[in-house]
Amino acid sequence: MDSKCKNILQTLLSTSIQWDCPLSAHTSFGIGGPVEALVKVMNVDELMQVMEFVSEHKISWRVIGRGTNILVNDKGFNGLALVLAGDFKDYSFDEYGETTDVKVGAGAALSRLSSLCIERGLAGIEFAMGIPGTVGGAVLMNAGAWGGAIADILQGVELVSAGNIREYTREEVQFGYRSFNVAGDTQFIVTSAVFRLSKADPQRLRQISMEYQHKRKKSQPPGRGCAGSIFKNPEGASAGRLIEECGLKGEKIGDAEVSTQHANFIVNKGQATAEDVLQLMEKIQEEVHRKHGVLLEPEVHVW
């Protein structure tokens, strides 16, 4: 962007833009070069103005959320990294007999939402306890664990694109394994979602949540220094098991290592680069394909 574009963009926002901001400090992997502009938007009006601006000026953009499940190129990203803050972290609860609709902003932490609902005795989202990332990212990925998924509880979603804001019902969206789609639009941002939950005993929900967290801590590395599952599970199989059967636990390229706890995680041991991770991912894909005839599909998003 030239200086004129930069000045115009800043006038659309109530917070200061961080220019040439290193994304390694904003991702769970701790990897990534600078983004041209790290932009924090506080409400839907600001977001719509920014989306119109980037559309008009043909500027690339991504939503960074909490920086999980992404791998940023070592050279960085030439465009905008959008952070949903302010109003995008709000919650509201509407009771309907034995069910409650929870409307939550896309910038809210998914694990925090799960914890809050458990304390209120609302069942259906306890599977998300311990899953990093935001509600918006969870919707786009149809995040799930322990037999539950976002698709099971979603009632509606609000999407913003350039010059347009629209609410969709559950019947109007298409969920797949780690995927979300709406007809006729590909350049949109999830701004809020409504989840329908049922009343339950908070103590029982806390017990279930603790069991899930114990299993997660026992089988998976801590969140910092990794980006969650690297590959999607092939139909009828476990990516982690296929990788482990290839003897790749502990395999390293540079400072990137296949986790010794869970083979479908790659860990930054300190100074790993994006290129280290990408080369290790390619090696895993080659070995799994050679041994099992399965081509693993990345779950992590590469910028």
pTM comes to: 0.88
pLDDT tens digits for range 93-129? 999 989 999 999 999 999 999 999 999 999 999 999 8
pLDDT of residue 63: 96
Residues 162-206: tens digit of each pLDDT:
778 999 999 999 998 888 988 766 689 999 999 999 999 999 999
pLDDT of residue 161: 85
Q: Which is nearest to 120 in space by CA: 198, 45, 178?
A: 198
200-214 in b/e form (b: 16+ CB < 10 A) is beeeebbebbeebee
Other CB atoms within 10 Å distance of the CB of residue 185: 12
pLDDT at 296: 97
Round the average pLDDT of the chain to a whole number and report it.
Answer: 93
User: Quick one: tokens of 4?
Assistant: 């004129």
* Longest Cα–Cα distance in the chain: 57
User: Tell me, what's the pLDDT at 25?
Assistant: 93
Average pLDDT (199-228) is: 87
Domain 7-87 carries which CATH code? 3.30.43.10
> What percent of the chain lies above the pLDDT cut of 90?
81
Query: Does the pLDDT at position 219 exceed 90?
Result: no
Contact yes or no for 65/105 (Cβ under 8 A): no
Torsion-angle region of 177 (φ positive above 0: left; ψ -120 to 50: alpha; else: beta): beta
Per-residue pLDDT at 27: 94
Q: Is the pLDDT of residue 215 over 90?
A: no
CATH topology for the 239-298 domain: 3.90.78
DSSP, collapsed to helix, strand or coil, labels residue 94 as strand
**Which pLDDT score is estimated for 47?**
96
| pLDDT given at position 233 | 94
DSSP string computed for 202-234 = HHHHHHHHHHHHHHHHHHS--STTB-S-SBPPP
Residue ranges covered by each domain of the chain = 7-87, 90-219, 239-298
Quick check: 6 pLDDT over 80?
yes
pLDDT score, position 222: 73
CA atoms of 230 and 248, how far apart (whole Å): 14
Query: Phi-psi category of 208—alpha, beta or left, where left has phi over 0 and alpha has psi -120 to 50?
Result: alpha
Residue that is written with structure tokens 């969650």 in the block: 228
CB proximity list for 195: less than 8 A, separation 6 or greater = 101, 102, 104, 124, 125, 150, 153, 154, 155
Please give the C-alpha separations between residue 239 and each of 262, 289, 300, in angstroms, as whole numbers.
Answer: 10, 11, 13
pLDDT digit string, tens, across residues 44-95:
999 999 999 999 999 999 999 888 899 999 999 999 999 999 999 999 999 9
pLDDT score, position 185: 64
- Mean per-residue pLDDT for 125-144? 91
Is 90-219 CATH 3.30.465.10?
Answer: yes
Highest mean pLDDT among 25-29, 100-104, 217-221: 100-104
Active site residues: 178, 229, 299
